[in-house]
Amino acid sequence: MKKISDIWLNRFKTASSVAVLTGAGISAESGVPTFRGEDGLWKKFRPEELANFDAFLKNPELVWEWYNYRRKLIEEVKPNPGHFALAELEKRVHSFSLITQNVDDLHRKAGSQNIIELHGNILRNRCLSCGRVSGSADMDFSEGVPKCPQCGGRLRPDVVWFGEMLPEEAIQKAYAAAETCDIFMVLGTSAVVYPASALPEIAFRKGAFIVEINPEATPVTAYAHVSLRGKTGELLPEIVRKLTAGTEND
């Protein structure tokens, strides 16, 4: 099914639980580049070359320079209509879980409440020595790599790098949401990075109705009940608008 149809939209009115998985695509319309697009490259580095612990140990200044560049960009952008539509949808559903692979905090800025961050948050840092988590305001770059305000240890961005484990609590919550939801939405993600990529499959096997929005086909397209080819910033507000109109007519 390619269109926003009242037949499947009605499922949102009766669903007791909706889970959503978002990826970099949902923030593309806010001006945050995805990794896989050409504009995802920074100084000709591929993200995989910088977003890993070995790169940080070898050249922490370079990795921090890249994260500072991305953090400043993210601090300047705003949520787009896709983010706002999800915050609105959350108000209309009994149980709503927003699982995101994004690190940009834009879902929170848009007003979403039940957010599960699988890959951390670029606006936070973590001390390699004592584990203390701090905000960006605490950072001091006068000696190159920023130091922990508590113990003087090295700070790293509080994000999940390639090859690292996901935060245990977040992944448990995400699996639980995928296993128990009536509707699972896959939005702006290529759904190829494990374990996030396993979530729509789990939901599908448990009988959830799968809705995908992406300008391009992904591995999810093959089994999604509805796969809409388009931008989340355009289609999500349309879905919410139609749901709202439906409620007013009831």
User: Would you name the residues annotated as active-site residues?
Assistant: 119
Q: Total binding residues for ligand NAD by CB under 6 A? A: 28
Q: Please, which residues bridge with residue 42 across strands? A: 45
Sequence-separated contacts (24+) of 133-138 with Cβ below 8 Å: 133/158, 136/71
The pairing of beta strand 115-117 with beta strand 226-228: unpaired
Q: For residue 147, what is the DSSP state?
A: B
Preceding peptide of 195 cis, ω within 30°: yes
Q: Smallest distance from the beta carbon of 2 to ligand NAD, in angstroms?
A: 15
Applying CB under 6 A, does 36 fall inside the site for ligand NAD? yes
Look at residue 35 and give the partner it binds from Zn ion, ligand NAD, none, a contact being a CB closer than 5 to 8 Å depending on partner kind.
ligand NAD
Q: Smallest distance from the beta carbon of 126 to Zn ion, in angstroms?
A: 9
Sign of the dihedral through C-alpha 139, 69, 165, 198: positive
Angstrom distance (rounded) from CA 226 to CA 31: 27
Q: Smallest distance from the beta carbon of 148 to Zn ion, in angstroms?
A: 3
Look at residue 151 and give the partner it binds from ligand NAD, Zn ion, none, a contact being a CB closer than 5 to 8 Å depending on partner kind.
Zn ion
> Residue 125 or residue 189: which is nearer to ligand NAD going by CB?
189
Look at residue 214 and give the partner it binds from ligand NAD, Zn ion, none, a contact being a CB closer than 5 to 8 Å depending on partner kind.
ligand NAD
Applying CB under 6 A, does 189 fall inside the site for ligand NAD? yes
Cβ(122)–Cβ(66) under 8 Å? no
Judged by the rule CB under 6 A, the positions of this chain that interact with ligand NAD are 23-25, 27-29, 32, 34-36, 40, 101-104, 119, 188-190, 193, 213-216, 218, 231-233
